[in-house]
Structure 1
Amino acid sequence: MRTRGVYLAGVGMFLPAAQSIESAVRQGLVPAATAAEYDLAGVAVAGRLSAPEMALSAAQEALKNSGRSPRDIGLLLHTGVWHQGPDGWGPQAYLQRHLLGDDLLAVEVRNGCNGTFSALELAAAYLKASPEIPAALITASDNFGTRLIDRWRPGAGVSYLGDGAGAVVVSTTTGFAEVRSLCSATFSEMEEAHRSGVPLFPPTATAGDALDYGARSADFQRRAEADGSWVRLLLGHQRHNLECTERALEEAGVTADDIGHVLIHSMPRQAAASYLKILGFSLERSTWGFSRTVGHLGASDHVAALHHLVSTDVLEAGDHLLLCGFSPGVTYKAAVLRVLGPHPSQKREARPSGL
């Protein structure tokens, strides 16, 4: 989707303190050999702080930085990967009550690790169709500290899972960055990769079964190798990744050489390097150096990485950013942002020279 006139007006993040991988190894949570192979540094751990509470903190920062008031928000989209709170309850209502109030559309979006991308696509279309609505708010948050998943052993080759939240205010008037393109692709033939060996009913959460992505993907690969489809599926997976990213670059009117930073999901070093190589980028051009310090934040990875770039003052007007990733489905997402100027928080922190 070629987007024009859609802006990010503010970005917010909430990250709890990180536990170092060294301490996790000492406690027996992570095998030393795996820690050395993954080359990750730390994982954000929220304890008993819930995902919606973290989302509220991130949203408050994003709204403050955007210069918008809660009355300007006409759409709230909340997303996450893991369980958000009591079953039969919606976290978006909690955010409405404590931040925005009523008389707006508020929806929870479930699209795995790519949930923020999908929320951004929906927000862009909604705002364009409703010119009387100035802005939308997107929040993403997860706390993986439950007995149904082991953040340190989510599956072979999967990054350690970190807790945290991100939020962005999307506007059709002004912002510090313009969304130049938003692209999606799917490869539904591989939807079984994230459930292989597990029955569809009863839902595993109701049965109290823990999630092990590694076991599921290994079962899927074994079956695909047995029927001779594994190589074709793997090549198709790589092709969909590349085609989605190339389309996002083309629709934004830029090339790979124009991209200053590539924002990706948190992955072990080798997995991240291989993924980026397929897309034509090096690890050094990505935000992996940041993500390795906090873990895989579910649907918040890219917003957290953007907040990090803003906070470290490395972005300049005219810079282009590529955000890309894939998630169960299998879905592929890519977006290109163009930085227009300093983030509002940077303007407030600026000081006159000579003082």
Structure 2
Amino acid sequence: MPVAVPGASEMDELITVTDRMRASIDRVVTGRPELVRTAVAVLLAEGHLLLEDVPGVGKTTLAKALARTIDCTVGRVQFTPDLLPSDLTGVTIYRAATQEFEFREGPVFSNIVIGDEINRASPKTQAALLESMQEAQVTVDGTSYPLPRPFLVVATQNPVEMEGTYPLPEAQRDRFMARLTVGYPSAEAELAMLDTQETSDPLAHVSAVTDAAQVSRLIETTRHLYASPAVKQYVVDLVAGTRDDAALRLGASPRAAIQLLRAAKGLAAVDGRDHVLPDDVQRLAEPVLAHRVILSAESRLSGRTGLDVIGDLVARVAVPAPARTAVRDRTAAG
């Protein structure tokens, strides 16, 4: 049956709101438009985002700026070694006055959850997010509670080599749609940052340009963007290639293929297109796949990283011909 693609009014709404969000965040995260572009794409794909880098480069600033562009509920969690799972999900308390148990929601019951330094919490506390990130619900004392939609976790972490960190377990990493490295700004951008932040906090001037209900519509619109059978096969070929690569001990899961396609649709939405290109998949292959794979012992000893291996894989896997991904073929897909 033909694929139902978004109409002109839906695309206009998507483009207008996305441009406003990027412009608002760009004023805070100076000189890194590609980082902002990818972060908004992950939001439109309703994926969870992991920001990794050394302290002080703006990971939390990006997370807060993204949250402030949306009029929605925001939960903030500072991950520490003594943080308990109930500090995230909530706890059931007994009310003596009514002689009844009452569930008190934790910060995870928010549209956007900002988690600072997630890899400083114990593995037990990290695991408390597994259910919520995959199923958009929390189970406490045998009762399941749905989370609000949209639901997005934006977590920051320091490199695992730094003191006081716990590596995220494989199951936790696999639930993040993308891992982004913030990086240092250019000299010009850093100089501009000194000028803008010398006397004021730029986050104080960030206001909401949309709300949770509209973001939910944009997410639904993004999911219906067209991806040709050839593009989908390209996604599968890339993910399958990680499972056969001798440089990796563990390849990417089927969940990775689903999230790579959704992220590619998010990037197409940010660029104002109603269809996915192989370029979208290539651009997001490293952020979506590199943190999910586990290197072989030989790769680690030789100093290679997951980004290196995925980059080589992208260069090796054949790209679909333009004729096979043309927009005019969209109605032929089943």
* TM-score normalised by structure 1 residue count: 0.27
The structure whose residues are more often helix, as a share, is 2
More strand by share: 1
Give TM-score, length-normalised by structure 2. Answer: 0.28
